[in-house]
Amino acid sequence: MRTFHLKRGLQHCPIVNVDKLWSMLPEGVFDKTKAAGNTDNVPVLDVTKLGYFKVLGKGVLPAVPLIVKARYFSLDAEKKIKAAGGACLLTA
């Protein structure tokens, strides 16, 4: 027996890439945020409510700030989000 007390599902961690983040927000939010140009009304995206736990850094993120909430972030994803002017918030 190789695994004592096997609990299935502990490794379950759905992922989403950085290039898909803006498509998860409602239509028109990107254009409104890009046109505003200020950092007062930055949209907040909680990917855990959409069924994803980890944000990976594949793809290109536009230079428009976005606040992303997730359980896990890869280093590349965190760098790209912060370079765009956004923030990464960890949730439990």
Q: Is the pLDDT of residue 1 over 70?
A: no
Region for 59 from its dihedrals, namely left if φ exceeds 0, alpha if ψ lies in -120 to 50, beta otherwise: left
**What's the pTM?**
0.87
What does the alpha-carbon distance between residue 3 and residue 78 come to, in Å, rounded to a whole number? 34
Which residues on neighbouring strands pair with residue 44, listed in sequence order? 67
Q: Is the pLDDT of residue 4 over 90?
A: no
pLDDT digits (tens, 9 = 90+) for 11-58: 899 999 999 999 999 999 999 998 987 767 899 999 999 999 999 999
> Which residues contact residue 83 at a Cβ distance below 8 angstroms, ignoring those fewer than 6 apart?
61
